[in-house]
Amino acid sequence: MKNEISIGLLGLGTVGSGVATILQQHQQDLRHKLGVQVTIKKVLIKDINKERLSSLDPSVFCTDIHELLNDPSLDIIVEVMGGIDGAKNAIEEALKAGKQVVTANKDVMAEYGHELLKLADEQKCDLFYEASVAGGIPIIRTLEDGLASDRISSLMGIVNGTTNFILTKMKKENMSYADALAEATALGYAESDPSADVDGLDAARKMVILSSLAFSTEVHLDDVLVRGMKEIRDGDLDMAADFGYTMKMIGSSKKDEDGIEVAVEPVFMANSHPLASVNNEYNAVYIHGDAVGETMLYGPGAGSLPTATSVVSDIIAACRNLLLEVNGKRVHSAQHERVMKPESKQFAKYFHRVLVTDEVGVLSKMTSIYGKHGASIQSVMQHPAQEEGKAELVLLTHRISRQQHLNVLGDLEGTASVISHYRIEGEESA
Amino acid sequence: MKNEISIGLLGLGTVGSGVATILQQHQQDLRHKLGVQVTIKKVLIKDINKERLSSLDPSVFCTDIHELLNDPSLDIIVEVMGGIDGAKNAIEEALKAGKQVVTANKDVMAEYGHELLKLADEQKCDLFYEASVAGGIPIIRTLEDGLASDRISSLMGIVNGTTNFILTKMKKENMSYADALAEATALGYAESDPSADVDGLDAARKMVILSSLAFSTEVHLDDVLVRGMKEIRDGDLDMAADFGYTMKMIGSSKKDEDGIEVAVEPVFMANSHPLASVNNEYNAVYIHGDAVGETMLYGPGAGSLPTATSVVSDIIAACRNLLLEVNGKRVHSAQHERVMKPESKQFAKYFHRVLVTDEVGVLSKMTSIYGKHGASIQSVMQHPAQEEGKAELVLLTHRISRQQHLNVLGDLEGTASVISHYRIEGEESA
């Protein structure tokens, strides 16, 4: 039986230093839980001369990734360096060398997760990635173990803290998008280039990971319909509120007999739904399972220590497996063929906001377009428009297909100009 | 390698039949996950002649518990029969016979959990109990694995669906306690004798289980301060609302250098806290960890299928361990000595509602009593009382110790009569 487990840490940035801190502070707890010493033995850093806040012994630092990956004394490689290609190669090499791997890298897992998990299975190694989605929330583990016995039918998540923070500020403090983004940047929630967050790519990658796991199938990034925050127009948040909704960037993933649909977009979420009250930089994932019904996990989506908590939980799991000599025993192969649902079978209620010339007959022209596509209207309201001689119409549809929704929007051009449009979610919930 | 895992089911009531249903419906998923067949081979029932809704082959039924416990072909015993002594003995016997055990029994785990987990460790058997707390919420697993690397500092839960349903109805539909209880009973949320729910014993048992796990120490039922719904007076819910709070039955468990405090009581929860919007029969557990910060798990607290989901997840975990031959490898021994915190060191803000004679000087008499005990008052408001010549005073304190709070209440008698009093929670939260 081993009496020490050695860790190689790739990267000592925000998450890496959090991992080092937790491992050092919790030595005693870990020893109690595992019965062995867990030691960070090598740390890959970029610049050996940069001053480090961590209390690690400087002798553990190295700048050559191969020195670390080829070190036979390392049991677990923890990849927290970020980026895609370099990180993917490192994970691959580590697995090929028979090491257990823990990663926090959603980009790599979204892009190459299927491939890497297959490699891990072949190598009989662990590849754990809890921290790749929703930092401090144990969502991967819950889908793998806690709800192992259930069949997930849908999953909706606020999985990007930056956009949730911005939307919260816009709603609660009436901030403009620009001001809210500036505050998010100042607080360190948004990157200097926030496009991956605000355009929805970051959330889309997380939804790829969650959907693949929840439905045991190979969902790809291309499968995700993505609409970013740019789609939001002035006044939309207030209108959402007027009708009893809250605007949220929602990653949603649903499965029924027609296939899977995955989308990331700004959504009108019913105020009564638990996701509507998830505020600020917090994340939450709401799961509907056939048997369990509704459950939701809520917590910090990012941050050094929350994310490091998930990484260290994965390290502990890998250590347990090492001590029991049962690494790589998870089945990662997809159980189901990947069947994506066509837009004609993706049903939802929609909110349409359009600008029309304020004249007799315009409403009848409009509604006939909806009628032509079999899109049933729940209600129409007229709002004053800023422009002289124009009126704003707000239409809420009954449940229609995304195809119908898009056909209607296309046909409206000429009669009206579409200001904004959103899917409506969360009304069926308790 | 085994190619079949055999299960003995003790009880075929609400949860038991849910377990049978899920295992039957998910045979294919289970075979994919585990690579073997999982079969219910024996089911203990009370009356062999009673007609069963389950589609189990009648040949599996037996009425003699020892026929089941002594059957060497059974790998896993699933205890869903309820009750205390009989269930405890059954679990004990099963463990002694070297079988893996899954139980949904909070009464047994609260009362004998420490003892039974010790026995499981000695026998190198699994004893899993996810379903014993908050039916469909994977809280035990999250504390054991997901937050394995964190140090939990506090945990607050709505862990009794019946009382949460009653409080929701009282608040949202202005129902009386009696009407709300009657509806809960009609819907099957409350038992015919609801005292364990409304008096807080059920929640207290769950808090014993959660606290023991979260703090790795042996918390006992006697350690829990329990106040039931009987403490709630007419008008209290409205007053909570007036001050920005929602009345909730909260199980809370906190640990700091002075020790652990565990309580179940009606609490004024700040509306901004995520627990305040957990409604109806839903449960939620809010966890504060040193590293992760705030997380919350939300979901159904009871019900046949949600609870059965947790039981079957435990069965899957036990099956995995059986196939890897690593059952009973968890460390269950308490890491820390049990140190309960004295009332003089349990700090909180309090709400006091008292009836006084409406005369000059009464307020000064009152406040001097608070002053005498060093209990600082945040605000005092006067409300009209129904009784002629009387006034109702509502006092909110700053943070004081529970000892100070109780001393003040004791000393008030003579000057005022105490109508109701509650701890205030959730204000520090985001």
The one catalytic residue among B41, B88, B99, B206: B206
Residue B191 labeled ligand binder: yes
At B430 the pLDDT is: 37
Q: Which residue has the higher pLDDT, A135 or B288?
A: B288
pLDDT bucket at B266, cuts 50 / 70 / 90: very high
Q: Which of A249, A267, A300 is the last residue of a domain?
A: A300
Does residue A347 lie in a domain region? yes
As a dihedral over the C-alpha atoms of residue B132, residue B133, residue B139, residue B143, rounded to 10 degrees, the angle is -80
Q: Which residue has the higher pLDDT, B149 or A81?
A: A81
B31 touches chain A (CB under 8 A): no
Query: Are A308 and A296 found together in one domain?
Result: no
Does residue A42 lie in a domain region? yes
Query: Are A291 and A308 found together in one domain?
Result: no
Does residue A121 lie in a domain region? yes
CA dist B322 and B411 (Å) reads 61
Query: Which residues of chain B lie closer than 8 angstroms to A24, CB-CB?
Result: none
A297 touches chain B (CB under 8 A): yes
pLDDT at B363 over 50: yes
Letter for the amino acid at B366? M
Say which CATH number the domain at A382 has. Answer: 3.30.70.260
How many structural domains does chain B have? 3
Query: Are A67 and A195 found together in one domain?
Result: no
pLDDT at B426 over 70: yes
User: Are B91 and B111 within 8 A, CB to CB?
Assistant: no
The one catalytic residue among A88, A99, A171, A206: A206
Average pLDDT over every residue of B259-281: 96
CA dist B38 and A332 (Å) reads 20
> Residue B135: which of A308, A285, A292, A239 has the closest Cα?
A292
Q: Which domain holds residue B376?
A: 343-425
pLDDT at B428 over 80: no
Q: Do A292 and B313 touch (CB under 8 A)?
A: no
**How many contacts does A have with B, using Cβ atoms within 8 A?**
176
Q: Which of B271, B292, B324 is the last residue of a domain?
A: B324
Picking from B142, B280, B329, the nearest residue to A430 by CB comes out as B280
Residue B11 labeled ligand binder: yes
Closest chain A C-alpha to B404 CA, distance in angstroms? 34
Query: Are B49 and B100 found together in one domain?
Result: yes
Query: Are B212 and B293 found together in one domain?
Result: yes
B308 touches chain A (CB under 8 A): yes
Does residue B88 lie in a domain region? yes
A329 touches chain B (CB under 8 A): yes
Does residue A329 lie in a domain region? no
At B121 the pLDDT is: 95
Q: Is B206 a catalytic residue?
A: yes
Instruction: Report CA torsion sign: A155, A317, B113, B23.
Output: positive
Q: Do B326 and A331 touch (CB under 8 A)?
A: no
Kindly state the tokens that stand for B147: 């937050």
B197 touches chain A (CB under 8 A): no
Query: Are B204 and B176 found together in one domain?
Result: yes
Residue A217 labeled ligand binder: no
> Residue A9: which of A96, A78, A104 has the closest Cα?
A78
B324 touches chain A (CB under 8 A): yes
Query: Are A351 and A283 found together in one domain?
Result: no
B326 touches chain A (CB under 8 A): yes
pLDDT digits (tens, 9 = 90+) for B43-54: 999 988 876 767
Query: Which residues of chain B lie closer than 8 angstroms to A316, CB-CB?
Result: 145, 148-149
Closest chain A C-alpha to B286 CA, distance in angstroms? 9
Average pLDDT, rounded, for chain B: 94
Say which CATH number the domain at A157 has. Answer: 3.30.360.10
At A418 the pLDDT is: 96
At A430 the pLDDT is: 37
pLDDT bucket at B352, cuts 50 / 70 / 90: very high
Q: Do B146 and A142 touch (CB under 8 A)?
A: yes
Average pLDDT over every residue of B96-124: 97
Average pLDDT over every residue of B32-61: 88
- Taking CA–CA distances from B34, the nearest residue in chain A reads A331
Picking from B26, B32, B299, the nearest residue to A149 by CB comes out as B26
3-class SS of residue B65: helix
How many Cβ atoms are within 10 Å of B372's Cβ, its own excluded?
11
Picking from B138, B149, B277, the nearest residue to A142 by CB comes out as B138
Closest chain B C-alpha to A203 CA, distance in angstroms? 20
Query: Which residues of chain A lie closer than 8 angstroms to B30, CB-CB?
Result: 149
Closest chain A C-alpha to B133 CA, distance in angstroms? 13
Average pLDDT over every residue of B228-251: 96
Does residue A334 lie in a domain region? no
Does residue B330 lie in a domain region? no
Query: Which residues of chain B lie closer than 8 angstroms to A292, CB-CB?
Result: 136, 299-300, 305-306, 309
Query: Are B190 and B254 found together in one domain?
Result: yes
B276 touches chain A (CB under 8 A): no
Say which CATH number the domain at B31 has. Answer: 3.40.50.720
- Taking CA–CA distances from A28, the nearest residue in chain B reads B335
Backbone angles phi, psi at B313, to 5 degrees: -60, -40
Q: What is the mean pLDDT of each run of 10 residues along chain A (430 residues)?
A: 92 94 92 93 90 81 95 98 97 98 97 97 97 94 89 96 97 95 92 93 98 96 97 95 96 97 98 93 96 95 92 96 93 89 97 94 92 96 88 96 97 94 82
- Taking CA–CA distances from B298, the nearest residue in chain A reads A296
Query: Are A370 and A221 found together in one domain?
Result: no
Query: Are A320 and A397 found together in one domain?
Result: no
- Taking CA–CA distances from A330, the nearest residue in chain B reads B33
ipTM of the complex: 0.90
Q: Do A296 and B294 touch (CB under 8 A)?
A: no
pLDDT at B384 over 90: no
DSSP tag of A151 = -
- Could you please report the per-residue DSSP string of A227-241? --GGG--TTHHHHHH
Instruction: Report CA torsion sign: A251, B26, B69, B11.
Output: positive
Query: Are B96 and B184 found together in one domain?
Result: no
Q: Do B148 and A33 touch (CB under 8 A)?
A: yes
Q: String of b and e for B387-420 (b: at least 16 CB within 10 Å)?
A: eeeebbbbbbbeebbbbbbebbbebbeeebeebb
Does residue A14 lie in a domain region? yes
Query: Are B166 and B219 found together in one domain?
Result: yes
Q: String of b and e for A208-220 (b: at least 16 CB within 10 Å)?
A: bbbbbbbbbbbbb
Query: Which residues of chain A lie closer than 8 angstroms to B150, CB-CB?
Result: 22, 309
